[in-house]
Chain A
């Protein structure tokens, strides 16, 4: 049995150049296969986002091992304990070694860190895991946050699926809203909808003058204008809509997402991430930035501003409809709204741009209470249970894009997914899928980089 005398050639019975070519060819074959998998996984994802990516029998690494064995792989052993760090021999040899071993030895982990554990962070993590865990077996998903449920911004929201009145021509966001609604509808007829905090709810949007139909009129169910008799219920409002939409209560949804992630071996880290560099220096390959209102602490973004909200949560189980009023002059969510949850009814109507104060304000309390009781007199008998303030991460549009940080060999990727304002729950799954698609591109590129 010929021994490996030379560290230049991994295959002593072949000249180094031919050996290198063989490995290059084999490497290319593997890379091509994985690329096809990743892109087909993406297509499968958009066609049917609710199903998990199917795991396949085809395993390129095992197949490659078989081919190497056919070339008498005993001669590949350079004796170095950690093949990847083998620095013996020429540069050429170490390149060959690395190229060979990345396909034959245990693959190095691909560490993806999601920063943020609100609805955006957790759903993005789950979507990524769904899409890639079978395709990329070395995927290691980690979630970092300093606040977890029930202390996130998402937890304070009532949870009603409803976009803003106008999409301002942002068709991308309208599509993401639609994808989210349809994804959630798929769970509605399963018993676990209850664990998710998901249920159907009907209700009213009220205006003081006629308005154009919203971009989401065909996404929700049974959208129609209000009849004169219905408007009698709401003196002061002369026009309105009725439709059936969904509620997704994050007090239940976030724990549900967390359980699903934990079951799949995703690791959680309770700590504040101070910088992207901190992540990369710990060996994270890709960062998914779902930090919501505090994204500016990781990277300044003047477009991201708080839109402070305050809500009163009351016990009013006789209220079965949401009622959202609109004042076209003062803007979204600055007019009273009443949203019944599974246990408490949320009263709100505060939208203060630029206000970072997370403390409850007595003045806002009074304003919400008086305006909501005027809207629905029966609320006067409701018992007040809780008060909460939060900062909507408002931005002219959602920041959903890749960014390369650093350069050369230290070039690493951040994918941003923040700035969902007061419609995070409404849009979350569409954004999660779009983020996963961007990650797919990143993973493809990393695979091709590793061949160089």
Chain B
């Protein structure tokens, strides 16, 4: 049979990294095309700070999440240490996660994967008089757009075709493609009607404050300061079931005030830009195969969406698993084609 034709739908972090992994794992045995309505800098991923601090999915075993995080961290660590780091937008950043409530300050499952994880000293905590406990560590940050653009470049180097196209129904692809990888993020609510997927709206500020070199994250996940290459991301909000993509000025002020209370020098920040993203949230990432069929025609689908606020932390790990599932699909296709020959 001819080389299977694979389409990856979605050009955010998940779509791009999944397409890349498929290309790396199945170098010559399939053709890969990336289709998306939006590209960087207009994806949800572009709004995120890209910090490697995992979100815990209630519906996924911890050891699986840990494996995904470890693969992602190892992959990015190697890039950060190479001369491609600045182009890829990957860099190390150290900082603190602080808690008002001691019971929240448990050691997380990922503490031995990030670098130098330890409780904060009393002297360090003096900077945060309203917080009683904290954790200090060094992790990685993926700045977007640079990381997404770098992934696109790698895709082209691997012979992946990239087209702008809005897909309204996966079945519409069944004639041109044999396997479709669904990485549409929050779009899956509409595209495949997944009611378990819901947005958690996040508003952030991106500001110019280049003297801020350390991250600060309140353990409640609502207030954070993440220094990137060209801007510092200040956050944020977690509004369940809100689909509103317009920035709210009252929220902007609230975020700014909360961040300034943790880092007063931010009052001198310049060039404040406001962004909104809808985290594609789900109790677990939908990483599974599906077969769509109508009449005698079939379309093999691999779903890889629903990463919520943890996309960056596990993207390479879920891309690896999705690529593996694509490999299974290819085997199925080759198996059925050889059966057809008998």
Contacts and interface: CB of A to CB of B under 8 A. Distances in A.
Contact of B213 (A201, A230, A233): A201
11 contacts: A188-B127, A191-B267, A202-B94, A224-B118, A230-B115, A233-B81, A317-B229, A320-B93, A320-B213, A342-B210, A380-B83
B89 A318 contact: yes
Contacts of A316: 86
B81 to A, nearest CB: 6
Interface stretch (A102-110, A192-200, A265-273): A192-200
A318 B85 contact: yes
Interface in B117-151: 118, 120-121, 123-124, 126-127, 136, 138, 143
B213 to A, nearest CB: 5
Contact of A320 (B92, B265, B267): B92
B116 A342 contact: no
B211 A342 contact: yes
Interface of A: 185, 188-191, 193-195, 197, 199-202, 221-222, 224, 226-227, 229-230, 232-233, 242, 244, 247, 316-321, 340, 342-343, 377-378, 380-382
Contacts of A191: 264-265, 267-268
A226 B87 CA distance: 27
A188 B124 CA distance: 12
Nearest to A201: B213
Contacts of A343: 210
Given A221-B123, A222-B136, A227 B82 contact: no
A320 B200 CA distance: 30
Nearest to B126: A185
A193 B127 CA distance: 13
A251 to B, nearest CB: 12
Contacts of A247: 211
B115 A200 contact: no
Contact of A321 (B83, B85, B94): B94
Interface string B217-237: 000000000010110000000
A323 to B, nearest CB: 11
B316 interface: no
A233 B94 CA distance: 15
B284 interface: no
Contact of B82 (A200, A221, A378): A378
A221 B87 contact: no
B30 interface: no
A222 B127 CA distance: 13
A448 B127 CA distance: 46
Given A200-B214, A224-B118, A317-B229, A382 B94 contact: no
Given A191-B264, A230-B116, A378-B85, A222 B121 contact: yes
Contacts of B120: 222
Contact of A194 (B85, B87, B268): B268
B315 interface: no
B86 A199 contact: no
B307 interface: no
B151 to A, nearest CB: 17
